[in-house]
Amino acid sequence: MTAEPLIVGTRDLRRALLATLPHADHDLESDATRIRFEVGTVNITVCATDRLSSVALAIVSVHDVGAFAGQTFDLGVEEVKKILAVHKPRRGSRGDESDQDAEEILSLQLGADDASLETRDVSGLFPGDEALIVPTLTPTDLFPDVPGYIGEAVHAHDRDGVEYRGRALAVFPPRLAVFHAASKAYGAPLGLRLIARRVDWDAPARHSLLITVGDSFIGLVRLEHPDAENDVHPEVLAAWDGWLDRLPQEAARPWEKPEATEPAQDSSPDDDAPPADAKRHLQPV
């Protein structure tokens, strides 16, 4: 058991857990069915991935790191849900959760042999009477290095560029929908950036969508490259060709004044005919 607990903000921890939880693999037999906590000197890095399509990372500020610095521990999906259910933010004086009169804080402390985690509300003058104790998961080296994976992808993109060139990309909606939780948790929009990662210099770069929410959440979702020869979503390419044939090449711009042209001279003009530019007056001015 660590001598001193780790002190964090309740709201900050909840946001990180809500943002990363949807990205955890929910297959009970998978090593990725967990949320990883990596404790630094000023932040906790909360990581999750389904190992197939997305990775997610959120930052929690640390009030007091205690003896936790440098430690890593994992919690199961159900244990994270229990923490979210028990440690809910109180409502402020106006009855709004976002209007808090005082910051609420939690203490986190690992049990004997790091086999459990105790969470306790220590806001105000006196700590809470009840503690929530949840088991931790046995550490595994099979869980990927999420911060390293995202960092390598971001810096490789910054070095090599996008190399996009209009190539078709595909992604299924559920892979993007999991990022809505981060936007909702932090109350901020999703920042999007197309990034490339070159694995083989003789092959085209592979692309991912980098998604950020403020300075507390970052994640990646893998994009697929439709390929008719290899039967990878060829319908995407066929639909694109259809749109090219279906859509006009230029947009109509009724607000632009047409160039003046000399009217054709009629040898026998009709005095009752409308002026040549009469139709123009029917257009919006």
CATH of domain 6-135: 3.10.150.10
- Residue 161's pLDDT is 61
Task: Kindly state the tokens that stand for 125.
Answer: 């003058």
- Residue 106's pLDDT is 92
220 beta partners: 55, 210
pLDDT block averages, 10 residues each, the chain of length 285: 79 97 84 92 94 94 83 94 90 49 82 90 70 92 93 79 71 92 96 81 77 96 82 83 87 73 60 49 39
Give the span between the Cα atoms of 219 and 42, in whole angstroms: 21
Q: Which among 218, 183, 179, 186 has a CA at the least distance from the CA of 15?
A: 186
Q: Structure pTM?
A: 0.79
Q: Residue 174: which residues within 8 A CB-CB, separation 6 or more?
A: none
- Residue 224's pLDDT is 87
Q: Which among 144, 3, 153 has a CA at the least distance from the CA of 74?
A: 144
- Residue 204's pLDDT is 66
So where are the chain's domains? 6-135, 146-246
3-state SS class at 175: helix
